Structures are given as structure tokens and as C-alpha cells.
């Protein structure tokens, strides 16, 4: 039996990480209406957090590449995953719009930006020579796939995102 080269394991773990990161970053699109109903915030207020998130997602990627070169991919990705976890986990305690801007906009935007396409490029370049293009394409596609899977799943099950199912018990713990 032929063993799978460890590079493919690394590519698979990276693919799942990028998929989850992209899905998490795009989640507020489905949460706009429940956040409007729960807190009484306008769409413009909620969209500000999404805009900050997208801006930092794009702006932080080059710096994340430098950090990966200096401190290592593992440390930066673990830090980014912890940042996304903290930012999203603390949203259950928010009750003002500036907290959404800080947590979802700044914290989650920075964390997901650290796992953007730069992670795919670094993994493909470090682990692959012969199939580099294939791996880079698959890892880049993980972002779109994550958005598709997460958003479709969240939309399908969005009934529990609105009061009385989620509402008071989750957002205001």
C-alpha cells in the first residue's frame, strides 16, 4: 500500500482552514436581519462592521505573509485561529454597535486576513514543486467554497437565528 505524502496532509488541513476562515468572514451577510431585529440597528450600522472586516481582511494579508516568514506558518495560523475564535465568541456579550465593529470588524477581519490567499501561496510554494499550480488553485478555491457552504447552510437553517430561538438567549447571554 502506497502512503500519502505528508505534503497532501498539509494541503488538506490548509484547505479546511481556508474554507472555515472564508465561511466565518462571510457570515454577517446572513446575520444582518437577525441583528436588526434583536438590537434595532440599521443595516448601515451592521454593514460598517462588515466593511471594516473586508478592509482588514485585504489589508492584513501582506503583513501576515511577512509574519509567516519571520515566525513560522504554524504560529501565525494558530494565532489567527485564536483571534477569529475570540472575536466571534465574544460577540455573544455585545450589546452596542461599536462592539460589533470591534469584534467582527477588527478582530475577525484581522484573523481571517491572516489566513487569506497568502497562506495558500506559502503552503503551495513550500510543500509542492510538481503539482504547485493544482494545489494553489485548490487552496484558492477553498475561499469561495467556504462562502458557498457556510452561507447556504446558514441560510437554510436561518430560522433559528431569529427570535425567539436565538435572540435573547445568545446575544445577551
Write the pLDDT tens digit of every residue in 126-147. 999 999 999 999 998 988 888 8
pLDDT at position 169 is: 44
What is the residue-averaged pLDDT of the chain? 85
Is the confidence at residue 58, as pLDDT, over 50? yes
pLDDT of residue 61: 85
Q: What is the pLDDT of residue 91?
A: 87
pTM for the predicted model, two decimal places: 0.80
The mean per-residue pLDDT over the stretch 63-74 comes to 92
Within-domain flag for 146: yes
**Structural domain span for residue 157:** 6-171
CA–CA gap between residue 118 and residue 63 (Å, rounded): 10
Length of the chain: 173
The verdict on residue 123 lying in a domain is: yes
User: For position 171, what pLDDT does the model report?
Assistant: 47
Residue with cell 441560510: 155
C-beta of residue 68 within 8 angstroms of C-beta of residue 118: yes
DSSP-derived secondary structure letter, 94: -
For residue 76, being part of any structural domain is answered with: yes
Confidence of residue 161 (pLDDT cuts 50, 70, 90): low
Calculate Rg over the CA atoms of the chain: 17
Residue 59 falls within a domain, yes or no?
yes
pLDDT over 90, % of the chain:
46
What is the model's pLDDT at position 156? 62
CATH classification of the domain holding 37: 1.20.1250.20
* pLDDT at residue 105, rounded to an integer: 92
Structure-model confidence comparison of residues 141 and 161, the more confident one: 141
Whether the bond between 173 and the residue before it is cis, its omega within 30 degrees of 0, is no
Alpha-carbon gap, residue 20 to 30, rounded angstroms? 16
Indicate the helix (H) or strand (E) that contains 126: helix 117-127
* CA dist list (Å): 161 to 36, 139, 154: 11, 30, 9
Q: Do 110 and 56 touch, CB atoms closer than 8 A?
A: yes
- Position 70 scores a pLDDT of 94
Domain tally for the chain?
Answer: 1
In a domain, 55, yes or no: yes
- Note whether residue 1 is domain-resident: no
Amino acid 163: pLDDT: 54
Residue 33: per-residue pLDDT: 80
Q: Are 143 and 23 in contact (CB under 8 A)?
A: no
Average pLDDT over residues 49-58: 92
In the numeric block, the cell 502512503 is attached to: 3
Amino acid at each position: 500500500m502506497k502512503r500519502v505524502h505528508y505534503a497532501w496532509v498539509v494541503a488538506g488541513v490548509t484547505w479546511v482552514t481556508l474554507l472555515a476562515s472564508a465561511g466565518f468572514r462571510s457570515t454577517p451577510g446572513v446575520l444582518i436581519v437577525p441583528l436588526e431585529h434583536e438590537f434595532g440597528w440599521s443595516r448601515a450600522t451592521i454593514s460598517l462592521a462588515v466593511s471594516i472586516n473586508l478592509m482588514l481582511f485585504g489589508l492584513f494579508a501582506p503583513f501576515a505573509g511577512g509574519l509567516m516568514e519571520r515566525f513560522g506558518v504554524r504560529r501565525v495560523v494558530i494565532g489567527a485561529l485564536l483571534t477569529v475564535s475570540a472575536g466571534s465568541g465574544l460577540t455573544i456579550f455585545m450589546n452596542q454597535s461599536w462592539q460589533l465593529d470591534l469584534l467582527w470588524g477588527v478582530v475577525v477581519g484581522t484573523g481571517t486576513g491572516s489566513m487569506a490567499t497568502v497562506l495558500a501561496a506559502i503552503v503551495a510554494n513550500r510543500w509542492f514543486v510538481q503539482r504547485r499550480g493544482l494545489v494553489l488553485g485548490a487552496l484558492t478555491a477553498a475561499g469561495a467554497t467556504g462562502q458557498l457552504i457556510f452561507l447556504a447552510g446558514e441560510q437554510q437553517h436561518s430560522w433559528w437565528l431569529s427570535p425567539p430561538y436565538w435572540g435573547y438567549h445568545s446575544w445577551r447571554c
